[in-house]
Amino acid sequence: AQRVTQPEKLLSVFKGAPVELKCNYSYSGSPELFWYVQYSRQRLQLLLRHISRESIKGFTADLNKGETSFHLKKPFAQEEDSAMYYCALSGLGSNYQLIWGAGTKLIIKP
Amino acid sequence: NAGVTQTPKFRVLKTGQSMTLLCAQDMNHEYMYWYRQDPGMGLRLIHYSVGEGTTAKGEVPDGYNVSRLKKQNFLLGLESAAPSQTSVYFCASQGGLAGDFNEQFFGPGTRLTVL
């Protein structure tokens, strides 16, 4: 079954500390993985995708096919990183629908 | 470009009332989606459309209907609202250039309360 699991509903870290938001997936084919972010009272927006291999707002995520994971990392958290983060999966070659994780609420404490 | 827009932004209904949420996109995307977002449950897909004139059920379709008469619009209807439908509703569209095809673009959301 296709599934995306974000094991932490809530993650709270201090400003300046490293952040790691976990995402594990179950998919039989070749997936495309995404991280979306939703700041307070705003719409969801794409943060990054594994195909791009880029760093956005200091965040990076590496697709680990062996561990079927796509964890989101940032070495030094900032208060403006407080938001809801969703991991999502799409099968390469499929032409619609993302499979969503339940989301992790990240709170950065001053 | 306005991207994805939703109307209304807020609405309060009484149980049993009906309403329609409108989603519009100006990106010429083929695919459109309606989600509901509830605390602790993330995003759940209600209905989706893969093109003008087509619709399909998602994960939680009961109590909702949709229509896609025009490519740019995707309507979500509640025929008889129930308190369990109190939620934030997000519309999304998808279908950009080849490399960005799987990226979904979201509207600002509609906050619905059913009393």
- pLDDT by residue (tens digit) across A3-50? 899 999 999 999 999 999 999 999 887 788 999 999 998 899 999 988
Q: What is the DSSP string of chain B?
A: ---EEEE-SEEEE-TT--EEEEEEESS--SEEEEEEEETTTEEEEEEEESSTT--EE-SS-TT-EEE-SSTTEEEEEESS--GGG-EEEEEEEE--SGGGTT-EEE---EEEEE-
Residue window 49-108, chain A: list those with CB within 8 Å of chain B: 49, 51, 86, 90, 95-98, 100-103
**Nearest neighbour of A97 by CB, restricted to B4, B48, B108:** B48
Residues in chain A closer than 8 A to B89 (CB atoms): none
pLDDT at residue A25, rounded to an integer: 95
Q: Is B10 on the interface with A (CB under 8 A)?
A: no
CB atoms within 10 A of CB A20: 13
A86 phi/psi in degrees, rounded to 5? -120, 135
**Which residue does chain B place closest to A101, by CA atoms?**
B42
| C-alpha distance from B60 to closest chain A C-alpha (Å) | 14
Residues in chain A closer than 8 A to B102 (CB atoms): 32, 34, 90, 98
**Which residue does chain B place closest to A41, by CA atoms?**
B108
Contact B41 A102 (CB under 8 A): yes
The Cα A65–Cα A30 span in angstroms is: 9
A93 has pLDDT over 60: no
A110 has pLDDT over 60: yes
**Which residue does chain B place closest to A52, by CA atoms?**
B99
What digits encode the pLDDT tens for the residues B13-51? Answer: 999 999 999 999 999 999 999 999 998 778 999 999 999
What digits encode the pLDDT tens for the residues B62-101? Answer: 999 999 999 999 999 999 999 999 999 999 999 866 667 7
Lookup: tokens for A77: 């958290």
pLDDT at residue B90, rounded to an integer: 96
What digits encode the pLDDT tens for the residues A58-73? Answer: 999 988 989 999 999 9
A52 has pLDDT over 80: no
**C-beta of residue B32 within 8 angstroms of C-beta of residue B91:** yes
pLDDT at residue A55, rounded to an integer: 82
Contact A90 B45 (CB under 8 A): no
